[in-house]
A = this chain, B = another copy of it.
Amino acid sequence: MGEFDLIARYFTRPARPDGAVALGVGDDCALLAPTPGMQLAISSDMLVEGRHFFADVDPDALGHKALAVNLSDLAACGARPLAFTLALSLPRVDEAWLEGFSRGMWALADAHGCELVGGDTTQGPLNICITVFGEVPPGQALLRSGARPGDDIYVSGNLGDARLALEALLGHTPLPADVLARARQRLERPTPRVALGLALRGVASSAMDVSDGLLGDLSHILKASGVGARIDTHITSKLIAASAYPSSAGALFDAELIRQCTLAGGDDYELAFTAPPTQRDAVAAASQASSTPVTRIGTVLVTPGLQLVDAQGQPVDKRYASFDHFR
């Protein structure tokens, strides 16, 4: 199968006539016609074998995740997904792999009305680069720079399960099979919080998605906003779903592993965001409207830096380093 047959078979579908895509796959460029007056939100993520995923990962899950991590960036800005491009470097043409990968990708794309409009395929070490486009009314994008002292700090959904699965898959931590299976779903099939991001427009003062670990990502908000924060670790520690499974009860996890996974785990693809206390009802309404649980985990402070406190309000001294590709 040649390059163009491959694109035609796995990565080409007719554009929907009512969408923002004026011209899809097959010419030198795709043509997008955003709603007049809207801004275009753009994000790009590159996934590398051995770095972001295991060589033997289910290709369906990989197709899902490659798009999910990009949609998560749109969610963090409160942008509505429109379209994406896919650039793919493949060691060889493996039809079973392409079939699975494209299936996982299309399923998530369809769920969000996000159309594949173009891209590139080449031979080389497995590498997936997706660039995603969404739209947002001018001035309404959720940015990292809007957090103000006194704001509440929230996170959506669960934290730490993806990292827990990774630790188990790497052989660092034993896990019961059912716990691993569920945690692995979180690692391999993250849920981009697109509906929550849209519902938080005009409500949240700042937002970003948690991809490298809660504290590291939160520190980007704090730096961009020129503020500090206090985080209640007894609350964040409860956000790891696995600890609630009956088979995980008791000694399975120590408190330190849970803190590591929830505070600096990475691969969560939840939204961390801030909002003034006057918006608590609006945050609850956004959570309900988007069917996405959110938890208040701390407060924005005037003093720069991140303070971690335990259930008694006492400082937690340990530092939790976030993921960095070159450290």
Contact = CB atoms under 8 A, between A and B. Distances in A.
| Chain A at the B interface: SS class | strand
Contact of A143 (B4, B27, B117, B326): B27
The 6 A-B residue pairs with the shortest CB-CB distance, nearest first, are: A48-B124, A129-B129, A28-B76, A29-B41, A46-B87, A131-B131
A90 B326 CA distance: 9
Given A3-B325, A123-B48, A30 B26 contact: no
A193 to B, nearest CB: 12
A39 B52 contact: no
A119 interface: yes
B209 A31 contact: no
A285 interface: no
A208 interface: yes
Contacts of A39: 22, 31-33
Contacts of A119: 44
Q: Count copies of this chain in the complex.
A: 2
Interface string A31-47: 11110110111111111
A29 B141 contact: yes
Interface stretch (A132-140, A234-242, A250-258): A132-140
Given A29-B77, A41-B29, A42-B85, A3 B133 contact: no
A125 interface: yes
A42 B50 contact: no
Nearest to A52: B122
A74 interface: yes
Nearest to A42: B30
A197 to B, nearest CB: 9
Given A29-B134, A52-B122, A125-B124, A44 B87 contact: yes
